[in-house]
Amino acid sequence: MTDATIQTLDTPDGPFTVLEDAEGRVLASGWTDQADRVLARIAERHRPGRVLDGRVASADAVDAYYAGELEHAMQVPVRQAGTELFAEGWRQLRNIPAGTVLTYREFAAAMGRPDAVRAAASVCARNAPALFVPCHRVLRSDGTLGGFAWGLDVKRSLLERESVGITALV
């Protein structure tokens, strides 16, 4: 891969940085204004050779998400590199509608691997294009938030914005 574009947007959850390839596919994103944190979400061998500041195509989808049009972010193209298990997991994450959550066990079953709960958690942990691949919609089996690379406050805010009707957002 050669060049990529990076842009930091202001959101109600703080700065949100998006890295896109030359074809407008999101490679990585997250709630930070530190480009190195976003780049670190991508395996070194898959990182772009050069990162340029500019306007990313997905900026409008981020604005739409925060304006209440939640599914626009699911239409943004992404590019992720991983095993077949990870690729299937990331596809399944994009199928979780806004306002819905799955437990890691339910997510493992959606991936076709009902006994692979730890693998399901790893799929979420290694998800680089946060928001566009909504790993924040997966919770622990007891309904608590679990982990999130960008912090539990952001995860809680995203789920509240999506009107997830659960009471254990702790």
CA distance 10 to 62: 10
46 residue type, one letter:
H
CA distance 48 to 29: 14
135 is catalytic: yes
Q: Please give the model's pTM, rounded to 2 decimal places.
A: 0.92
Neighbour tally for 66: CB within 10 Å: 18
Check residue 169 and give its pLDDT: 47
Check residue 141 and give its pLDDT: 87
Check residue 168 and give its pLDDT: 46
Catalytic residue among 70, 108, 135, 149: 135
Tokens at 129, concatenated: 């294009």
Check residue 96 and give its pLDDT: 95
Q: How many Å is the Cα radius of gyration of the chain?
A: 15
Beta bridge partners of 53: 6
Per-position pLDDT tens, the chain of length 170: 589 999 999 999 999 999 999 999 999 999 999 999 999 999 999 999 999 999 999 999 999 999 999 989 999 999 999 999 999 999 999 999 999 999 999 999 999 999 999 999 999 999 999 999 999 999 998 989 988 999 999 999 999 999 865 544 44
